[in-house]
Amino acid sequence: YEMSGRISSSLAQLTEEKSKLLEAVARLQELEQQQKQFIGNISHELKTPLTSILAYTDLLDMYRDDPGLLEEAGKQIGKEAERLYGLVEKALKLSSMDVYEFETHAKSVSLLPLLQEAADRLQAKAERHGVEMVSTLEEGSVWADPENLIHMVQNLLDNAIKYNKPGGKVLLSNEAVRDQDGQGWMNITVRDTGIGIPEEARAKIFDPFYTVSDDRSRAHGGTGLGLPLVKGLAEKQGGTVELAASGPEGSIFVITLPLQRPEHPETISAGNSP
C-alpha cells in the first residue's frame, strides 16, 4: 500500500509538472507568434514610406526643370523619411523594453523640469499645427526614470497636437493624489480639444500597430506604436496610463506614477493606481 501510495503521489506530481510544461510551451508559442506578427507589421510599415521615397526619387529627374515640383517632391521625401525615423525609433524602444531594467534607472526625480522639457520639445510642432499648449504644473517628485518620463509625456502631447483641430488647445497638468491604502501617486494629465476617439476604438488604442483609421493616423505619420510604448513604459515604472475620457470635445489621457520608491515592487502593477 505504501508503495502504491508513493507511486500515485509521484504520478500526480508528474502530471502537474507536465501541465506546467505544456503551459510554458503554449506561452512560448504565443510569444513567438506575437514576435512574428510584430516583424510582419513592422516590415509592412517600413515598406510604405520607403516605396514613396523611391517613387519621388524617380520623379526628381523628371522634375529637374520645375522648381515648384522639385520642392514638393523634396517635402514629400522629407515627410516620409521623418515617418521612417519615428517608426524605427519607437520600434527599437519597444523591442528593448523586455530587457530594460527599470530599477537601475529609477530615482526620485523632480517632475516640473521634466514636464517642462517634454512641453518644450513639442512647442514648435504645436505652433505649426496652430494649437495652443498650456501647462498648469505643480512642484513634486516621482519615482521614475527621467528619460522615460519625458518620452511618455512627449508621446501623449504629440498625439494631442496631431489629433487636434486648428485653433485647438492642449492642456498639460499634474496633481499628487493618495489612494485608500495611503499610497501617494502623481497624475499627469494631457487634455486636448481634438477630434476624440470613437467608442469602439477606445479599448484598442493601446495595442501595437492599432490606428483608429488609416487616413487620420497616416496623415500625421502615425504608426500605432506611440500609445503601446507609453503603456509599456508606465507599467515598467509601477504605474499606469489610461484614456480617462474622450468625446467630440476632445480626449483626456492620464499617466499615474508612484511618488516614492515602491516598497514591494513586485506587488505594484497595472491596476494598483487610484
Binding site for ligand ADP (CB under 6 A): 159-160, 163, 192, 194-197, 205, 210-212, 216-217, 222-227, 251
**Of the two residues 227 and 233, which places its CB atom closer to ligand ADP in the complex?**
227
Instruction: At 36, list the grid cell.
Output: 512574428
User: Are residues 108 and 257 in contact, defined by beta-carbon separation less than 8 angstroms?
Assistant: no
**Nearest distance, CB of residue 236 and ligand ADP, angstroms:** 17
**Of the two residues 154 and 159, which places its CB atom closer to ligand ADP in the complex?**
159
Instruction: At 214, list the grid cell.
Output: 488609416
**Nearest distance, CB of residue 61 and ligand ADP, angstroms:** 33
Question: If you search the block for the grid coordinates 514648435, which residue do you land on?
Answer: 124
**Of the two residues 73 and 174, which places its CB atom closer to ligand ADP in the complex?**
174
**Nearest distance, CB of residue 222 and ligand ADP, angstroms:** 3
**Nearest distance, CB of residue 191 and ligand ADP, angstroms:** 9
**Of the two residues 73 and 80, which places its CB atom closer to ligand ADP in the complex?**
80
**Of the two residues 73 and 118, which places its CB atom closer to ligand ADP in the complex?**
118
User: Torsion-angle region of residue 207: left (phi > 0), alpha (psi -120 to 50) or beta?
Assistant: beta
**Nearest distance, CB of residue 210 and ligand ADP, angstroms:** 6
Instruction: Please report, for residues 121, 203, 211, 228, 239, the alpha-carbon distance to residue 214 in angstroms, rounded to integers and kept in the order given.
Output: 26, 17, 6, 17, 30
**Nearest distance, CB of residue 113 and ligand ADP, angstroms:** 24
Distance between CA atoms of residues 171 and 190, nearest Å: 6
**Of the two residues 226 and 262, which places its CB atom closer to ligand ADP in the complex?**
226
